[in-house]
Amino acid sequence: MTQTLRLGIAGLGTVGAAVVGMVARRAEALAAATGQSVRVTAVSARDRGRDRGFDASGLDWFDDAVALAQSETIDVFVELIGGAEGTAKTAVEAAIAAGKHVVTANKALLARHGAALAAAAEAKGVVLAYEAAVAGGIPVIKAIREGLSGNAVSRVYGILNGTCNYILSRMEAEGLTFEACLKDAQALGYAEADPTFDVEGFDTAHKLAILTSLAFGIEIDADGVSVEGISAIQPLDLTMADELGYRIKLLGVAQATETGIEQRVHPTMVAKASAIAQVMGVTNAVTVDADAVGELTLIGPGAGGQATASAVVADIADIAAGLRRPTFGRPVAGLAAPRRVEMQRHEGGYYIRLTVHDRTGVAAGVATRMAEAGISIESIVQRRSAKAASTDPQGLSGQPVPLVLITYAATEGSVREALAAIDRDGLLAEAPQLIRIERD
């Protein structure tokens, strides 16, 4: 062993500190596995005085992450700053231009600038690695890019945001509202003070765009992802899902169709018997449907210092061992242009919760509009309170009550058309709830 791989880490938060500790703790094993020693030699963070659980006195300290990226004292730049723009982007670009390998956990950066960064890395002959950017400690990037390279993938989907899965799990188990569960998630550190990026599905969309590129050999197309979050989910939706044999999960789904690749993020009903329905709390899961292996599901921690550091160090070990793979499974020039499939053309089953006026003929009117749009109804359930049922058995109170429909396969466009007609008929007391059903 004649060489040391020198690491410069930008960002010493929970993950960065965990990476420093893991590299030190696993130094002997990493050297044995890769053929050279691996050592953190330089770091960059805003606060030098903060206690991060390790002794930084022997490390070169850079106040400027870009200066660290360009330093001749490192071979690999590890970007753990975050964000699609600003310092993270500038520093990664500088590192590549300086001929440094880059390891990042930054899904937003890759979703927005992955192709350009990958092309720059190819031109300089350096590695751009990002296992930690999707699903935390689950090695899904390597599984798709390398482990399944002999397969044709037809669909990849999963629970890619632990915050949303925690909230939905708590809502289901305890009958709590979204707002109450979000407050708890924030108190536990699972959700940010401004949770929009997580709960409205954008974090999942960035991760899905990366997986789509890997799975289908196309350019990253984050703007082509149809995105819905979980903030409109109510306890009744979870209760009805349970009674119908489903659970509600926020899924990111990428699927090959005859007209292109469909990318969507939205609350989804999944059968309770499915593997992905068993994934509760902050855990992540990714399922790949492929021709040779069939259905493959990977489950594990989607966030956290140690789990994410595990993925970062795995990329570092690959670089130390001299392993080189195209960033997105093939050279950037070989990635196909994305062909978007709009959600209006999506076809599948739907859960529809309508809040309607409790009066004679409403259910029939709803069914008529559905039929006119070519939608077949699998089941229909009208929920009335016990008090309303006892005092008004005929159902003529006119008060708002929930009417739940499960449809057979229908297009998004036809469902929206039917709901618009029902609204024009004056049958709705409030906006409808629409949740897609993901069937095997």
* Residue reference for tokens 């949740």: 435
The b/e string for 238-268 (b: 16+ C-beta within 10 A; e otherwise) is bebbeebebbbbbbbbbbbeeebbbbbbbbb
As a whole number of angstroms, the distance between CA 250 and CA 168 comes to: 8
Strand partners, 289: 155, 295
Give the orientation angle of helix 107-124 with respect to helix 87-97, to 10 degrees: 10
Starting at the edge strand that comes first in sequence, how are the strands of the sheet with 37-44 ordered?
60-62, 37-44, 4-10, 76-79, 101-104, 128-129
Q: How many CB atoms lie within 10 A of CB 83?
A: 12
* Residue reference for tokens 């188990």: 173
As a whole number of angstroms, the distance between CA 434 and CA 382 comes to: 16
For the chain, what's the residue count? 440
Contact 159, 276 (CB under 8 A): yes
Comparing C-alpha atoms, which of 324, 309, 304, 301 is closest to residue 9? 309
As a whole number of angstroms, the distance between CA 321 and CA 420 comes to: 59
Which strand (E) or helix (H) includes residue 268? strand 260-271
As a whole number of angstroms, the distance between CA 71 and CA 10 comes to: 12
Contact 160, 134 (CB under 8 A): yes
Contact 437, 268 (CB under 8 A): yes
Long-range contacts of 190-196 (CB under 8 A, 24+ apart): 190/162, 190/163, 190/166, 190/282, 191/163, 191/167, 195/163
Residues with a catalytic annotation lie at 207
3-state secondary structure of 75: coil
As a whole number of angstroms, the distance between CA 240 and CA 49 comes to: 52
Retrieve residue 322's tokens: 């001299």
Retrieve residue 82's tokens: 């975050």
